[in-house]
Amino acid sequence: MRKRNHAVYIRMTTDEFERLQSKVKQSGLSMQAYIIHAALEGKVSTIEEINILRERSNHLEDIDRQLRGIGTNVNQLAYVANGQGIIPAAIKLAEISHDVTSFRNEVRKNWQLTRQSIHQQRVMEP
């Protein structure tokens, strides 16, 4: 007696089918094993999860923009120090240090959240 006695039929465009074949080939599984695994074990993100990832992406983009600004400020201070022999005020350097530390902490938190998300994903095995 067959173990799998239920058939499921789906329709795909040529592009979808070619993409599926490519993914099946990369996985090293048979098409049947790949589709069953993807359907039963794959993760489909909810709209809430997608929105959280979008927010995180926007947040990281903002941090990147601010870090670039800080880098520009540091370069300007270095230019002035090299050209005029003037060392920036300790207060300005302390502000820059505080900003960089804050942004590094934010990036670290987001990096840890991203790592947690990655670890929750399932790896397909042949």
Query: Which residue type occupies 122?
Result: R
pLDDT digits (tens, 9 = 90+) for 88-103: 676 777 787 788 888 8
Domain residue spans in the chain? 1-42, 47-119
Q: What's the pTM? A: 0.48
Task: For residues 6 and 13, give the distance between their C-alpha atoms in angstroms, rounded to a whole number.
Answer: 23
The DSSP result for 22-46, as a single string, is HHHHHHTS-HHHHHHHHHHH-----
pLDDT digits (tens, 9 = 90+) for 62-117: 887 888 888 788 777 777 777 777 676 767 777 877 888 888 788 878 777 776 76
pLDDT digits (tens, 9 = 90+) for 4-38: 889 899 999 999 999 999 988 988 889 998 898 88
